[in-house]
């Protein structure tokens, strides 16, 4: 039996979208491939509320994250971490020999405007990374408040991880002054894993051109050059199969309407948060809860593996905690194309499972 995925990626993919992965292939240097990539770019610009260049990468989101710290850091990176995925940016810096400092919030808490001010006012940093939605703890950062601070430092390149939120949570890239905004296909976009997408500002690219050792496969200068000059091409052979699926799914997303999509994510999040309040409680700061994934304290007295096994028998897969929170919490994702009916059914079954254990 297929278990419906309510883990924070990969997510359940609509059958019609899955089918698009089986579209007969086309040559990647053809006009058809150009048209396909252009279509995706224009639709992604709507989803990301940006005029910046959209680059695709045949990799998961981590590839473009690693490429970003390499391409855009000249002096030193300030990594603002609110959990596992913030730490990942830091590891990417150190693994590539990029000078970096990490500014960690307590787990379950946000990055504060004060933390950004304190770091940037030193003048030491020319790149910052922010996790807009932290999947390990189920919180999202107050981006508008953070933007008020980093916008005062126009020489700093702002990189934001929206891997588990873009197309589920409203992140207006241009309004927030984000230079490099990164996401992956397998979370809120509702497409199989294997492709990453970033919106990149011209000023970031101009800066990157002055930086050596940007790497090759994830070199944003090259990725943008192929979009702007070829145009709408990819430096190597992209996963055209993902592109067919993504293009089609973006039509579905825009057909639903972004406002409706954001409202649905909020509604689903509220259902799970309500459930959590009477079942162990929410792990994270209630003021800043994610609209795409909820992290719940496991006070059931049962190891999570038992809960998920019983849930599996009912056809669902939810997620354990991440990293240090593996056994203390569990997570329910409510992202991409999940419906109200599915969410209600899942929570009902979760109640049944807990009563039966």
Ligand X SMILES: *Cc1c(COP(=O)(O)O)cnc(C)c1O
Residue closer to ligand X, measured from CB, 64 or 78: 64
- Cis status of the peptide bond prior to 222, with omega within 30 of 0: no
| Closest approach of ligand X to the CB of residue 132, in Å | 8
| Closest approach of ligand X to the CB of residue 133, in Å | 6
Report the distance separating Cα 75 and Cα 254, nearest Å.
Answer: 40
Backbone Cα Rg of the chain:
20
| Closest approach of ligand X to the CB of residue 269, in Å | 15
Residue closer to ligand X, measured from CB, 64 or 250: 64
Q: What angle do CA 341, 345, 348 make, to 5 degrees?
A: 140
| Closest approach of ligand X to the CB of residue 85, in Å | 4
Residue closer to ligand X, measured from CB, 135 or 338: 135
Strand segments (E) across the chain: 4-5, 53-57, 77-81, 100-104, 127-131, 133-134, 139-140, 157-161, 180-184, 196-200, 293-297, 316-317, 319-320, 329-333
Query: What does residue 326 show for φ and ψ, rounded to 5 degrees?
Result: -45, -50
Q: What angle do CA 51, 155, 126 make, to 5 degrees?
A: 110
Residues binding ligand X (CB under 6 A): 8-9, 60-62, 85, 131, 133, 135, 161, 163-164, 184
Contact 150, 32 (CB under 8 A): no
| Closest approach of ligand X to the CB of residue 171, in Å | 12
| Closest approach of ligand X to the CB of residue 83, in Å | 8
Residue closer to ligand X, measured from CB, 135 or 201: 135
Residue closer to ligand X, measured from CB, 9 or 321: 9
CA nearest to 10, candidates 197, 280, 195? 195
Residue closer to ligand X, measured from CB, 52 or 60: 60
Strand segments (E) across 136-231: 139-140, 157-161, 180-184, 196-200
């Amino acid at each position: 039996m297929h278990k419906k995925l309510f883990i924070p990626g990969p997510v359940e993919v609509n059958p019609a979208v899955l089918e698009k992965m089986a579209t007969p292939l086309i040559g990647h240097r053809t006009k058809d491939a150009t048209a396909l990539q252009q279509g995706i770019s224009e639709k992604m610009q709507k989803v990301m509320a940006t005029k910046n260049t959209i680059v695709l990468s045949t990799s998961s989101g981590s590839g473009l994250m690693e490429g970003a710290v390499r391409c855009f850091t000249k002096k030193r990176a300030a990594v603002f971490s609110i959990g596992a995925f913030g730490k990942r940016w830091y590891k990417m810096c150190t693994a590539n020999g990029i000078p970096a400092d990490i500014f960690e919030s307590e787990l379950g808490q946000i990055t504060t405007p004060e933390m950004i001010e304190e770091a940037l006012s030193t003048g030491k940093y020319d790149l910052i990374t922010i996790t807009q939605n932290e999947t390990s703890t189920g919180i999202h950062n107050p981006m508008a408040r953070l933007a008020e601070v980093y916008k005062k430092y126009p020489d700093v390149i702002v990189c934001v991880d929206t891997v588990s939120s873009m197309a589920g949570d409203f992140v207006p890239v241009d309004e927030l002054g984000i230079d490099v905004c990164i996401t992956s296909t397998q979370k809120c976009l509702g497409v199989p894993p294997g492709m990453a997408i970033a919106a990149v500002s011209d000023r970031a690219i101009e800066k990157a051109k002055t930086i050596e050792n940007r790497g090759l496969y994830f070199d944003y200068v090259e990725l943008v050059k192929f979009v702007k000059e070829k145009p709408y091409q990819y430096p190597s052979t992209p996963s055209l199969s993902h592109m067919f699926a993504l293009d089609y799914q973006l039509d579905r997303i825009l057909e639903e309407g972004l406002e409706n999509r954001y409202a649905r994510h909020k509604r689903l999040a509220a259902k799970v948060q309500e459930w959590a309040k009477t079942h162990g409680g929410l792990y994270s700061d209630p003021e800043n809860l994610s609209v795409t994934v909820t992290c719940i304290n496991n006070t059931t007295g049962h190891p999570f593996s038992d809960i998920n096994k019983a849930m599996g028998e009912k056809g669902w897969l939810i997620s354990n905690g991440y990293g240090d929170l593996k056994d203390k919490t569990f997570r329910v994702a409510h992202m991409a194309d999940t419906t109200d009916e599915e969410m209600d059914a899942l929570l009902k079954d979760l109640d049944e499972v807990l009563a039966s254990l």
